[in-house]
A and B are shown apart, each in its own frame.
Chain A
Amino acid sequence: MPKVKIPRKSTTIDMTAMCDVAFLLLAFFILCAKFKPSDALSVTTPSSVFSKIAPETNVVTVTITPDSRVFLSVSDKNVSEKLAMINDINVSKNLGLSDAEKSNFANRPASYIGAPFSQLKSFLDKTPDELKNMQLPGIPAKDSTNNELIDWIRAATGAFAGSKMALLVRGDNAAKYPAFQSVLIAFKRNDQLKFQMITSPIAAPRGSELEKTQIVTGKKGVE
């Protein structure tokens, strides 16, 4: 009986195509990734079941650090509003800020306010690198009597008059409640009764009422 020859096939596969696809995807994701400028204020936000993405423009953010200091920042795109805010504070508190100092807040990306009015001038003179290495005092907002955040929120509402402003609170897990409470006081004093808190999303817990409704309605997120 003649032997049947089975042609031996090579087991090596041409990887070029796969490699091409992999790197194409890689290039796509790298280009799509939005790199955040390293935050000067590092905050770990609590998690919630809410899935509405936080807005990014026309935003006034109040940051509460783990040691309960309060900082204020405005989204980078709203340069004119930032300028209006700092002008307002400069005039009403008689701080005598120079144009360069105002522009340091208005034009620098990811700029923030982290000092009381009395130290604001020297605070605005500093470069972002210098600020990173300093222990900043934050905006005094300990109670309702000495709450400079009230003035800042008032300036912000004035600057955003006519356009929609979103108030965001970005608090750290470890921040104490009184700090958050004084932020709420500042909002209330300015009749800003609606605000949002930045959280990291988690799924509804197993067996909870919310999960049951989500299964019934087929909706996943909470707006």
Chain B
Amino acid sequence: MAEMDTSGGGGHKKGPGVKKAKKLSTRVDLTPMVDLGFLLITFFIFTTTMSQPTAMRLGLPKDTQKPEEQNKLKESAALTIMPSKQDKVYYYEGADPSKLQTSDVKKIREVILDKKRRTDPKDFMVIIKPTQDATYKNTVDMIDEMTIDEVKRYALVDITPAEYGFVQKTEVANGIK
């Protein structure tokens, strides 16, 4: 263990009457110090790697009025999901928002995968239309869900008043405030 030479330089002789000072051990127990050291190391290891934020890319479609520039979409291959209040997600297939169904953020994966299985992968597209009541987290979760479920075509689109109306009606019917 850590030792230090305490005999003093020079070897200075003491007289016969002088009592020898008791030699105290200079050994220090280093265990707590090592413990502390490793504790701090683990702390710094964790904080350095965790603080790296990542970035998720998203491209927006260009607003265009010309029909020839707009993407064509097969009605039967479309799935529209609308995150809203309290982590609820409303969805419908095709182009008829009146056939609204309710799910939530955690269960929507089943819905997407089910639709994906039933649809030609070439045409399959998910349209994400967050309502005014959705949170930023819900929106990012839905976009992330596209990566998790490997949906190649998806878009973030503004909700139409008609769709929002149906969502609100369903929310009132289910007692969600």
Contacts and interface: CB of A to CB of B under 8 A. Distances in A.
Contacts of B158: 181
A89 interface: no
Contacts of A204: 148
Interface of A: 12, 14-16, 18-19, 22-23, 25-26, 29-30, 32-34, 36, 45-55, 64, 168, 171-181, 184, 187-188, 191, 193-201, 204-205, 208-210, 213, 222
Interface string B28-46: 0011011001101100110
A73 B2 CA distance: 52
A171 B140 contact: yes
Contact of B54 (A178, A195, A201, A205): A201
Contact of B135 (A47, A177, A197): A177
Interface of B: 1-2, 30-31, 33-34, 37-38, 40-41, 44-45, 47-48, 51-63, 83, 109, 113, 130-141, 143-144, 147-150, 156, 158
Given A50-B56, A199-B140, 11 more contacts: A15-B30, A16-B2, A22-B37, A34-B48, A47-B144, A48-B54, A52-B55, A52-B56, A176-B134, A200-B53, A209-B149
Given A52-B54, A196-B55, A175 B136 contact: yes
Contact of A210 (B51, B59, B141, B149): B149
A52 B141 CA distance: 17
Contacts of B141: 46
Contacts of B109: 205, 208
B33 to A, nearest CB: 6
A22 B45 CA distance: 13
A54 B64 CA distance: 30
A33 B38 contact: no
B140 A12 contact: no
